[in-house]
Structure 1
Amino acid sequence: MFEEINSPVQKIGLAPFNNLFVKRDDLIDPYISGNKWRKLKYILAKAREENKTHLITFGGAYSNHLVATAAAASRSGLKSTAFVRGEEVKNEMLLLCSLFGMKLIFVDRESYKDKHKLFERHFANDKQAFFIDEGGASPQAIPGCAEIISELTETYDHIFCAAGTGTTAAGLLKGIQQHQLNTKLNIIPVLKGGSFIQDEIEKYTPLSDHLELHLDYHFGGYAKTTPELIESIKIFTAKTGLLLDPVYTSKMFYAIVDLQKQGIIGKNDKILAIHTGGLMGLFGMKDKF
Structure 2
Amino acid sequence: MYIYSPIHRLNYQALTQISVKRDDLIDPYISGNKWRKLKYVLADVFANKKSHLVTFGGAYSNHLVATAACAARNELKSTAFVRGEKVTNEMLVLCQLFGMQLIFVDRESYRDKRLLYAKVFSEDPESYFIDEGGASEEAVKGCADIISEITDTYDHIFCAAGTGTTAAGLLRGINEAGLSTTLHVIPALKNGDFIAEEINNYEKDLSKLQLHVDYHFGGYAKTTPDLIDFIKNFTASTGLLIDPVYTGKMFYAIYDLINIGKLKKDANILAIHSGGLLGIMGMKEKLFT
Does TM, scored on the shorter chain, surpass 0.5?
yes
The amino acid across from 1:111 in the alignment is S
Aligned residue-pair number: 287
CA contact (8 A) 2:20 2:273 kept: yes
| Equivalent residue number for residue 109 of structure 2 | 111
After TM superposition, the structure 1 = structure 2 runs for residues 181-196 of structure 1, keeping only pairs within 5 Å, are 181-196=179-194
CA drift of 1:6 comes to: 4.6
**CA deviation profile, 1:132-153 (whole Å, cap 9, x unmatched):** 0000000111111001000001
1:159 corresponds, among 154, 157, 160, to 157
| Equivalent residue number for residue 18 of structure 1 | 16
CA drift of 1:235 comes to: 0.6
| Equivalent residue number for residue 122 of structure 1 | 120
The amino acid across from 1:244 in the alignment is I
Q: Distance in 2 between matches of 1:222 and 1:4?
A: 33
2:244 corresponds, among 232, 243, 246, to 246
Q: Distance in 1 between matches of 2:140 and 2:109?
A: 28
| Equivalent residue number for residue 204 of structure 2 | 206
| Equivalent residue number for residue 86 of structure 1 | 84
CA contact (8 A) 2:14 2:259 kept: no
After TM superposition, the structure 1 = structure 2 runs for residues 38-77 of structure 1, keeping only pairs within 5 Å, are 38-77=36-75
SS at match of 1:21: strand
1:174 corresponds, among 151, 172, 175, to 172
CA drift of 1:216 comes to: 0.1
**CA deviation profile, 1:94-132 (whole Å, cap 9, x unmatched):** 000000000000000000000000000000100001000
2:33 corresponds, among 35, 42, 46, to 35
CA drift of 1:16 comes to: 1.9
CA contact (8 A) 2:4 2:25 kept: no
CA drift of 1:262 comes to: 1.4
Identity %: 65
1:224 corresponds, among 211, 222, 225, to 222
Q: Distance in 2 between matches of 1:196 and 1:244?
A: 25
| Equivalent residue number for residue 276 of structure 1 | 274
CA drift of 1:209 comes to: 2.1
The amino acid across from 2:220 in the alignment is Y
TM-score, length of structure 1 as denominator length: 0.98
CA contact (8 A) 1:64 1:278 kept: yes
The amino acid across from 1:204 in the alignment is Y
CA contact (8 A) 1:17 1:268 kept: no
SS at match of 2:147: helix
**CA deviation profile, 1:189-210 (whole Å, cap 9, x unmatched):** 0000111110011111113321
TM-score, length of structure 2 as denominator length: 0.98
Q: Distance in 2 between matches of 1:93 and 1:228?
A: 26
Q: Distance in 1 between matches of 2:15 and 2:232?
A: 18
The amino acid across from 2:249 in the alignment is K
Q: Distance in 1 between matches of 2:52 and 2:165?
A: 23
| Equivalent residue number for residue 136 of structure 1 | 134
CA contact (8 A) 1:6 1:151 kept: no
CA drift of 1:4 comes to: 3.1
Q: Distance in 2 between matches of 1:124 and 1:18?
A: 53
CA contact (8 A) 1:143 1:171 kept: yes
SS at match of 1:140: helix
- Is residue 97 of structure 1 aligned with residue 95 of structure 2? yes
**CA deviation profile, 1:217-243 (whole Å, cap 9, x unmatched):** 001111111111111100100111100
Q: Distance in 2 between matches of 1:101 and 1:113?
A: 25
CA contact (8 A) 1:137 1:167 kept: yes
SS at match of 1:168: helix
CA contact (8 A) 1:201 1:207 kept: no
SS at match of 1:101: coil
